[in-house]
């Protein structure tokens, strides 16, 4: 392929792009791939998870602007482009029974209508590859599940001139992947490496609960990107309201990560090109066409 390769990563909130596939994106940017993050919501209802910033009245009052600024910093660190789809964060309902979702939020939008916003962006950017979440959202946040739904509709519709004719000239992406970076194989490997070295593992409880949370998936694609883990972590730290730099995200030393598990993992959900599994490249089957 002589034209520039393009990849779109569809995420629910600012910070998701830095915790799911960030090293992959940084790797591809370094190779000259044009990478765009589509962020569905502004993260307005996200809790302030960094204990160092909890109780700050300015942040609490201006959370939308603060999270947008964090996103801009992370975007620059990763070297990617980024667009907002403009929907309002649904929040994560808690309680028994669960409370209703807030009126007007992303998860309550009509799927076909919301997918049209993503179709327009796909037709403008023309990605060859799209990454998104599986049908469970990676975890069952209503915005993550909605992100999956609109991504699936948009992937099928973007190349069809009969659908969303107002959204621009048709463009058909060639492959769609689910982010599967939180998987049992990786978690077990890192846990074992830490315990073998006499270090404390943050994954013991995860592994004990794994069967009950049903996270096993079909990993098809392992992208080598260990050289970009540091960039990934810097992008994560940029989301200061969401990430504690002294927290669990950073308990596994980078040298151990690179030695034991230097890849990020994906599940190939749709492909319009021939490819052989397992893959080590999201553009396998596209580069040589």
Four-residue CA torsion sign, 56, 62, 63, 66 = negative
Q: Could you tell me which residues come within 8 angstroms of residue 215 by beta carbon, excluding any fewer than 6 positions away?
A: 182, 183, 184
> What would you measure as the largest C-alpha separation in the chain, in angstroms?
60
Bridge partners of 41?
A: 87
148 is in an annotated binding site: no
**Element of type H or E holding 268:** strand 263-271
CA angle (110, 20, 89) in 5-degree steps: 35
How far apart, in whole angstroms, are the C-alpha atoms of residue 178 and residue 167?
A: 25
CA-only gyration radius of the chain, Å = 19
64 is in an annotated binding site: no
144 is in an annotated binding site: yes
Residue 237 corresponds to which tokens in the numbers above?
A: 């730290």
How far apart, in whole angstroms, are the C-alpha atoms of residue 21 and residue 181?
A: 7
List, as residue ranges, the binding site.
13, 16, 144
List, as residue ranges, the binding site for Zn(2+).
13, 16, 144
């Amino acid at each position: 392929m002589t034209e520039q390769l393009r990849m779109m990563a569809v995420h629910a909130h600012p910070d998701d792009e830095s915790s799911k596939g960030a090293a992959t994106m940084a790797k591809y940017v370094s190779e000259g791939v044009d990478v765009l993050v589509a962020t569905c919501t502004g993260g307005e209802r996200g809790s302030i998870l960094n204990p160092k910033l909890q109780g700050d009245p300015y942040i609490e009052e201006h959370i939308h602007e603060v999270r947008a600024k964090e996103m801009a910093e992370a975007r620059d660190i990763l070297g990617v482009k980024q667009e907002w789809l403009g929907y309002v964060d649904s929040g994560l309902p808690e309680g028994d029974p669960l409370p209703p979702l807030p009126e007007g939020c992303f998860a309550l939008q009509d799927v076909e209508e919301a997918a049209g916003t993503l179709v327009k962006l796909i037709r403008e950017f023309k990605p060859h590859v799209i990454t998104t979440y599986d049908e469970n959202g990676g975890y069952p946040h209503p915005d993550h599940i909605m992100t999956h739904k609109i991504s699936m509709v948009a992937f099928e519709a973007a190349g069809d001139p009969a659908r969303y004719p107002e959204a621009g000239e048709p463009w058909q992406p060639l492959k769609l992947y689910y982010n599967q970076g939180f998987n049992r194989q990786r978690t077990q490997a890192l846990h074992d490496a830490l315990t073998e070295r006499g270090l404390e593992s943050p994954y013991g409880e995860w592994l004990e609960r794994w069967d009950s949370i049903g996270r096993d998936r079909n990993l098809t694609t392992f992208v080598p990107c260990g050289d970009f883990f540091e960039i990934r972590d810097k992008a994560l730290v940029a989301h200061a309201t969401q990430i504690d730099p002294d927290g669990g995200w950073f308990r596994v030393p980078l040298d151990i990560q690179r030695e034991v598990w230097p890849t990020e993992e994906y599940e190939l959900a749709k492909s319009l090109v021939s490819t052989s599994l397992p893959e080590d490249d999201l553009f396998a089957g596209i580069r040589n066409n």
